[in-house]
Amino acid sequence: MKIYTRKGTAARRFQKSQRCMLFQGDIKYGPYLPIGKNGAKKQVYLSAFIDDATRFIVAARFYDHQQVSIIEDTLRTAITQYGKPDAIYVDNGKQYRSSWLGKACTKLGIKLLFAKPFHPEGKGKIEAFNRRMDSFLSEAALMDIRTLDELNRILELWINEHYHKTAHHGLGGITPETAFKADKRPLKFVDMKTLTEAFLHTEERTVDKTGCISFEGKRYEVGLQLIGRKVEVHYDPSWSDEVEIHHPDFAPFMAAEQVIGEHCGIRAALPEHMTVLKPERSRLLEGLNKANISGRTRKDVAVVFRKCREGMDNV
């Protein structure tokens, strides 16, 4: 990673000679939309990358936050559609200084260059685009835009049908679209597997005594052989069903999220002959009652027999 700057007027005149040699990136504060809780107004933010040589916008989108994930999304979009650049040039904001961005650029062979603090002239191309964006925001304010999707839809329309097709004085009067398409430099596309692996985030976790790790509020089974050890978790923030586990003593492997099924915890029914039935009557009390009745009957018979015998004795 390098600080990329030039002094004097040369900084304002500098530009790369061919497309995809350098992408400049920036975040711009956007309008307020009724997308908060109960329709409350919430500010949105534009993340964009511009091709230095042709002023062509390789990726631009509004988001409802300004965390590092918006940089990931726009850079991934740019590389997917137009191939990887030789370098990207950004400011010193915390989103760009994240360890994730440095690792991703290293894996893809992209130089990560930072503007010198308090020298915005080094980012002249993207800053000029941001000023052009002000005219877009003025037009957008005249429309009843209520969702991010709607705002991004008209942004894409404005970029493709207006900005890209408008002559640019910095390009000798031709349009960014013409400049980009006329450039003969081959685009360097990256296969999806390599791109996905490069954009994985990494965190460390300790395996518990059950052979599992807790991550992002979920549990993943990694194996009893790793109990008590620290592992690296490689993950895609947009996909949490599986994570990739790394440890020096084992080949990388995928760990699936533990999911408690709807039938989990329900015991299987016992065979009918083993089923404990709820008694419908008390055998104890019935036995006592039967014994009591039998006892009374014998007693009554004895009384009758005794009386009969006494009667015979009196004859």
- Cα–Cα distance between 13 and 124 in angstroms, integer? 9
Q: Tell me the CA distances in angstroms from 197 to 100, 111, 154, 202, 243, one per residue in order.
A: 12, 18, 32, 11, 11
- Give the pair of three-digit tokens for residue 84: 């990887």
Torsion, Cα 143 144 146 152, to 10 degrees, reads -20
| Fold for the domain defined by 2-194 | Nucleotidyltransferase; domain 5 (3.30.420)
Provide the pLDDT for residue 64.
96
What is the tally of helices (H) and strands (E) in the chain?
A: 8, 12
- Cα–Cα distance between 52 and 70 in angstroms, integer? 20
- Cα–Cα distance between 238 and 222 in angstroms, integer? 21
pTM over 0.85: no
Q: Specify the long-range contacts of residues 139-142, CB closer than 8 Å, at least 24 apart.
A: 140/31, 141/31
Q: Angle, to 10 degrees, between the axis of helix 124-140 and the axis of helix 148-158? A: 120
**Number of other CB atoms surrounding residue 226 within 10 Å:** 20
What is the three-class DSSP state of 252? strand
What does the pLDDT profile of the chain (315 residues) look like in tens digits? 444 444 444 444 578 999 999 999 999 999 999 999 999 999 999 999 999 999 999 999 999 999 888 999 999 999 999 999 999 999 888 888 888 899 899 999 999 999 887 665 567 899 999 999 999 999 999 999 999 999 999 999 999 999 999 999 889 999 999 999 999 999 999 999 999 889 888 889 999 999 999 988 899 999 999 999 999 998 887 777 889 999 999 999 999 998 765 544 444 554 555 555 566 666 666 666 676 666 666 656 555 556 656 655 555
Provide the pLDDT for residue 117.
73
- Give the pair of three-digit tokens for residue 302: 């004895």
Report CA torsion sign: 171, 173, 176, 180.
Answer: negative
Check residue 304 and give left, alpha or beta (phi > 0: left; psi -120 to 50: alpha): alpha
The backbone torsions φ and ψ at residue 6, rounded to the nearest 5 degrees and listed phi first, read -135, 155
Q: Which helix (H) or strand (E) holds 100?
A: helix 99-108
Find out whether 44 and 141 touch, Cβ atoms under 8 Å.
no
Provide the pLDDT for residue 145.
95
- Cα–Cα distance between 253 and 245 in angstroms, integer? 5
Provide the pLDDT for residue 239.
75
**Number of other CB atoms surrounding residue 138 within 10 Å:** 9
Residues counted in the chain: 315
The DSSP code for 274 is G
